[in-house]
Amino acid sequence: MLVALCGASASAQSRLDSIQSLQEVEVVAGRQREVIPAQKLERKQLEALSTYSVADAIRYFGGVQIKDYGGVAGIKTVDIRSMGTNHMGVFYDGIQLGNAQNGQIDLGRFSMDNMEEISLYNGQKSEILQPARDYGSAGTIYLRTRRPKFEDDKRNNLQATMRTGSFGLANPSVLWEHKINDNVSLSSNAEYTYATGRYKFRYRKVFDDGTVAWDTTAVRENGDIQAVRAEAGIFGYLPQGKWHAKAYYYDSERGIPGAIINNVWKNAQRQWDRNAFVQGSFQAQLLPGYDFMANAKYANDYMRYLNPDTTLKLVDNRFWQQEAYLSVANKYTIVPGWDVSLSADYQWNVLESDMQGFAHPHRHTLLAAAATAFEWHGLRGQASVLGTFVWENADRTTAGTTANKPHNVQKATPAAFLSYTPFRGFDLRAFYKHIFRMPTFNDLYYTDIGNADLEPEYATQYNLGAHYRLDRERGVLRRVEARADAYFNQVKNKIIAVPKGNSQYRWMMMNIGYVEIRGIDASAQVSLCPLPGFLIDVQASYTYQRAQDFTDPTDTDPYAGTYGGQIAYIPWHSGSAVARLTYKTWRLNYSFIYVGERYTTSANIPANHVQPWYTHDLGLGKEFRFARWRLDVSAEVNNLLDQQYEVVANYPMPGRNYKLTIKAML
């Protein structure tokens, strides 16, 4: 079968350097170098990390902040360079995952079992044959799942995995791949997750004068989860292209453990999620120098939130949202090294709820992007402009606004990227991008909180960086890679929640925020082969960020003022390190994460201070062979030193915990 190289440009498919025929046909394509290289974690690296989900793996990227509310069941969302979760695009096999209700993607629901590669781009991808939506985020995460590959004359691949460990975890999964013919194959993957979510934690409160208010040990409750995930796909290759179609289903019930405040140790909130989508992609060279891509998707999501606590008010809300999406992209090579592209996307979103007085919003979005890319004597560049046209309406708007007021937006946003290679292996790069994000349906219409007069939130990015890479086929030193970027971001018209009147129990959304972010991301990777069969891979990353709230120049009270303060939950310093030692069929993995001090609000006062935290994880694995079967066994100890910490204030995280994984492959 034909195997497309990951990350190769679409134009590369039209310039095949060689075609080598063994028992299968492998296409080796000429690779167009990226203007801004991505941070990537490939399958072997992902297997080395002590991770339950995609969100756990993304923590090892520089410039990323993860909000994690604890345990297997905890909601996990991602923020890049302090611009906010809603400025982050998450793409699954080339098509963006959407959530028009609140704009956030829970990365905890995506498994590592069938994940081939995770990539993080600041700004946007360097490839210009892409949907218009790919140009519409300040940063993007691309999740690429496994595409079937078959060795020798095999027609079937089978993989069964069982994980167990702390928190009452039981996580079986099965993956089956079938080769129909040399050009078409099938893949199906199913997974079940169960966990009680119970773990001990130490809760300690110290007043400003050093007096200990309390110091106790308790058990985290209501953090259980039951979830089923199933995926099926069909993959095909054409003489000058490829295509695939995929169906995805996820169904879960989980407890929401809640914050530990006011001496309340257990919460009873529950959440049910059901997410399903079908999507497909087609890409081919239709004429010499002309490439075409088409994507389509339909998603149907359901969410129920229950808070049975009647102290304030019983809450039992259900939400249904639908999304339909269609995209076409065209690229033409004017001369070798100079390409132009034009893409257009249409998207339809609707949100329904059983809440009394709900607005029933629906939104039509048209995106059109024009881009060009060139490469000339070590100089590479990309420029694009994205036009966004939004037509929106609702049956009802919030108090104080005009009934049935449409929320229509027409914006053009540019981006420019440049890279120069003065000598082999070394690149200098820079980019500028201006982008915006629409208010979510919750921002605009959520009962008693939404504000239908909200304006879009804007982000402007500036970046300067350098990248060096050296690869060798022989010797002890096999690979050295280092990169560093300095950046300045502005977020204007920031959408925030503020108290409504004098009540702390009634809130509304407003455009009053302005944030400036200055930062440095640096990372390095070294691969060594000191002895035959012995490999060492080490990588480390460091991030410094100064993300200041400049919303209100008059709010300078030294005891509660927010002007100039570090914004909520953004540490000044953070970093990670990963080491992987492999000897024949043995492997030893170590990972470390550090997050420095931060504050729960922009008022950087002692009462809002959150302590730094760090974790050490250790794993040992070995592969065995029995006839045609391969058996992989690994054991992990996470949070080795039993660090007691919080990612989000008052949401204690697990201490030392264990995991055992057995994987059988045929």
The conformation of residue 56, written as its DSSP 8-state character, comes to H
Q: What is the pLDDT of residues 572-584, one digit of tens each?
A: 999 999 899 999 8
Q: Would you state the pLDDT for residue 405?
A: 55
Residue of higher predicted confidence among 560 and 167: 167
Q: Would you state the pLDDT for residue 447?
A: 59
- Reduced to 3 states (helix: H, G, I; strand: E, B; else coil), residue 48 is helix
Mean of pLDDT values over 182-202: 92
Pairing of strands 457-471, 156-165: unpaired
The answer to whether 545 and 64 have CB atoms below 8 angstroms apart is: no
Q: Would you state the pLDDT for residue 258?
A: 81
> DSSP H helical segments within 449-496, as ranges?
none
Q: What is the pLDDT of residues 51-62, one digit of tens each?
A: 667 777 887 887
Q: What is the pLDDT of residues 469-479, one digit of tens each?
A: 998 888 889 89
Would you call 518 exposed, middle or buried from its count of C-beta atoms within 10 A (0-12, 13-18, 19+)?
A: middle
Q: Which helix (H) or strand (E) holds 415?
A: strand 409-423
pTM for the whole thing? Answer: 0.85
Pairing of strands 139-145, 88-92: parallel
Residue of higher predicted confidence among 383 and 89: 383
pLDDT band at 508 (very low <50, low <70, confident <90, very high): low
Mean of pLDDT values over 536-547: 93
Distances in whole angstroms, Cα of residue 596 to Cα of each of 315, 543, 599: 36, 10, 10
Written as six digits, the tokens of 537 are 């891979």
Q: Would you state the pLDDT for residue 509?
A: 66
Q: What is the pLDDT of residues 320-356, one digit of tens each?
A: 999 999 999 999 999 999 999 999 999 999 999 888 8
Mean of pLDDT values over 518-533: 92
Q: Would you state the pLDDT for residue 335?
A: 92
Indicate if the alpha-carbon torsion angle 94, 99, 105, 106 is positive or negative. Answer: negative
Q: Would you state the pLDDT for residue 656?
A: 92
Q: Is the pLDDT of residue 369 over 70?
A: yes
Mean of pLDDT values over 587-603: 90
CB atoms within 10 A of CB 384: 23
Would you call 153 exposed, middle or buried from its count of C-beta atoms within 10 A (0-12, 13-18, 19+)?
A: exposed
Q: Would you state the pLDDT for residue 379?
A: 93
The conformation of residue 238, written as its DSSP 8-state character, comes to E
The answer to whether 658 and 166 have CB atoms below 8 angstroms apart is: yes
Percentage of the chain surpassing pLDDT 90?
Answer: 47
Q: Is the pLDDT of residue 498 over 70?
A: no
Q: Is the pLDDT of residue 13 over 50?
A: no
Q: Would you state the pLDDT for residue 20?
A: 36
Mean of pLDDT values over 560-568: 88
pLDDT band at 435 (very low <50, low <70, confident <90, very high): very high
Mean of pLDDT values over 301-305: 92
Q: What average pLDDT is seen over the chain?
A: 84
Residue of higher predicted confidence among 501 and 223: 223
In DSSP notation, 117-140 reads EEEEEES--S-SSS-GGGGSSSEE
Q: Would you state the pLDDT for residue 430?
A: 95
Q: Would you state the pLDDT for residue 2?
A: 29
Pairing of strands 629-638, 598-599: unpaired
Distances in whole angstroms, Cα of residue 229 to Cα of each of 57, 109, 132, 275, 375: 19, 8, 29, 9, 43
Phi first, then psi, for residue 616 (nearest 5°) are -115, 130
Written as six digits, the tokens of 303 are 């969410």
The answer to whether 100 and 115 have CB atoms below 8 angstroms apart is: no
The alpha carbon of residue 59 and the mean position of all alpha carbons in its chain are separated, in whole angstroms, by 10
Say how far apart CA 164 and CA 186 lie, in whole Å.
29
Q: Would you state the pLDDT for residue 227?
A: 94
Would you call 71 exposed, middle or buried from its count of C-beta atoms within 10 A (0-12, 13-18, 19+)?
A: buried
Minimum mean pLDDT among 316-320, 467-471, 495-499, 650-654: which range?
A: 495-499
Q: Would you state the pLDDT for residue 399?
A: 41
Q: Would you state the pLDDT for residue 241?
A: 92
Minimum mean pLDDT among 18-22, 202-206, 269-273, 586-590: which range?
A: 18-22
Minimum mean pLDDT among 171-175, 484-488, 499-503, 514-518: which range?
A: 499-503
Q: Would you state the pLDDT for residue 468?
A: 94
Highest mean pLDDT among 22-31, 349-358, 505-514: 349-358
Phi first, then psi, for residue 111 (nearest 5°) are -85, 160
Radius of gyration of the chain (CA): 25
Q: Is the pLDDT of residue 504 over 50?
A: no
Minimum mean pLDDT among 168-172, 420-424, 552-556: which range?
A: 552-556
Minimum mean pLDDT among 33-37, 56-60, 464-468, 526-530: which range?
A: 33-37
Number of residues assigned to the chain: 666
Phi first, then psi, for residue 50 (nearest 5°) are -85, 85
Terminal CA-CA length for the chain: 19
Q: Is the pLDDT of residue 63 over 90?
A: no
pLDDT band at 450 (very low <50, low <70, confident <90, very high): low
Q: Would you state the pLDDT for residue 428?
A: 95
